[in-house]
Structure 1
Amino acid sequence: MLRSSGVRRRAFRALAGRHRGDPRWDGAAAMIGEEHVDLHAMVEGFFRHRFSTDNALITEAVNRMLRAGGKRIRPRFTLLGAQVSGGDAESQLPLAAYMELIHVATLIHDDVVDEAQTRRGVNATAVDFGNRVSVLAGDYLFAWIFRNVTKHYPHPIPMILAQTLADITDGEVLQLRSLADLETTVESYRQTAGKKTAALFASSAEVGAIMGGGAPETVEAVKTFAYHYGIAFQMLDDLLDVTATESDLGKPVANDLRERKMTLPLLVALQLGGQQFRGKVERYFSDGHDPRAAQHVIEAMNACGAFEATHETIAQEVQRALDCLAPLAETPAKASFAAFAKALTLHR
């Protein structure tokens, strides 16, 4: 753990530099401040010095994804959950790492399903290792995580992780079934986002709070906070897909639109844009996804007010998350949770 204030400042500047330009990081960096960069450094140190599996090829495939970086929000939620419950964050570092590795395994599988070429600014795992190795790497990583969790952690931690993985898989299937379905509702979108994205944020905070010795009401507070945070995070991710640049995101923009995913900005635009916009989307989905047509759809989404309306929906979801923190005592860990949530509203 970083102890010198000078070391903390240098670490914070390095961390901010790696993620500068990513709209999901810039606001959080300013609001959280240097004092909690320790948590990110702890997670990075664990991966750098302590992560390995029994399979050298799997370890290298996973390490390539880890070296590409990431905000490490999920493991930091685990550590903050422990802190807000009065526990020691450093003692929960392996558990926090397992939560991030679940995320990494899902990304490896996602890139195979989506036929993605890049992830976090580098080649997707499947590009360099092939689809077969990538699928097996994700499978192996899930098994490796659960072997360690069931061996070292008491009930209900293994059950929480098992349910989370089931939710993530269910959410991905729901999303696949809704592709190009213009009758998709915002409520069904929320159900999908809750499973495929928010569930892992929620369980990350929950297991940290449990292992930190938190009272049931504390555990419930951080779990529900992180769930609403995850919904807002997914909404912002949807919005950035059609408003940010490839250099900001580390992956091609408008991917969701090309893959015919029913994102929140698209659903809102279908509500606001009337039949003219609906017809434009139908033609785009059926005509081979011309990049110029995609840009026309994006411009029409903005013109009908969908981007601004999505920002407002994100702000409402963030407020739901913040309301969940109200029962907790005022601590630096609570303030960090709140800062992560507030940062999602700074990208207008």
Structure 2
Amino acid sequence: MTLPPGVVYMSSGTTLSTPLSAGTRTGSSLAFSPVGAGTPGDAAHQGLASRASDGRLYAVEISDGQADARLVVLDAAGAITRLGALASLAGQHGTVTGGTFGEGVYSETYLAVVRDVPDAGGRDVLLAVDIAADGTFAETMTPLDLPAGTRLGDVAPSGGYLWGAYGQTIVRVDPADGSATAWTLPEGTVGPGTDTVFGVAWSTGDGQLAFGSHAHGEITEVSVSDQASATPTFEVVARHSTPIGQQSDGTFVPSEAPVEIPAAGAPTLGPRQPSAPEIDPTDGTRFAGHGVPGHTVTVAFPDGSTSQTTVDDDGAWVVQPPAMDFVHGHLVEATATDLTGTTSETSCTTVDLFRAQDPAPEDGAGRHLTSASQRGGHQ
């Protein structure tokens, strides 16, 4: 039984049993209903994905007490056919976080994100399973070069790439080599929170992606323009409140025409510029401040030199100043660069050689000079 086009499928296993649901839409609304009886009580599947060429769903199945993870096929009624064990996942089947079929040369390749793989030095990898017409398959694992601290759940294909979300960050992965680029969007774009892993993702065609997480039970659909560029544009086109389990995966069965989702007045969003770092007052002996943990702070000094450091987990940073004689009023500038490579506006401070805790110098008439008077009134 082949899958009807234009339908979203979601697996919702929270224990070793996975019910399958089909989602249909009217306009921008999306409602799910159960399909079949679900998997046996001792088995569950992860990484749900649809393949256009045969109208079937594919997933990775795990069983209670079974070391092997198996590649399985599901039809529109939820009936399962087991194709065989995945040698790449022997002993680590619980780390599959999402799956999809790609586009172009990857349209017949099942692609799954696998977390913390020992053979890859503990890194996340992309498992590629090339499936032949007779059901046999070959496996390849490619380490993912993700931004530091980023965790991917489910992924969706579009524009020749795989797309995922983490917190307010959209991640684009090249399936050929595992390289990744990321863009951080304004708070609340994809969902609340900054550390959310999105276990549900699918593409409806023409650059439209959907991301969902059990953390807030909401699916956000985003349209992406200029997908291959360094500065794609992201537009929220719909949101759906949908029950999502901790082990949920989602996929979309493509139709001949892309699915358009109306959303009048939806905002157009671009990469969010990080906040400029704060700089503590200084007398020229120490240059430090505060910022967002993980951001890179670059400080530019009056002699033309720069110094870089990373903001620590407590939000503090400090850099080594150059070997130069600072003059009262010298301007020092700083910027912050986030994990996506986006740079903040510039913050600045002036060197104050006569801070309040220091004895104030006297002029020729024996009068004390204030820092403001030495700066010529500059604030």
The structure in which a higher percent of residues are strand is 2
Which TM-score band applies after superposition, normalised by the shorter structure? under 0.3
Compare the two structures and name the one with the higher helix fraction: 1
Q: Is the radius of gyration larger for structure 1 or structure 2?
A: 2
State the TM-score, normalized to the length of structure 2: 0.22
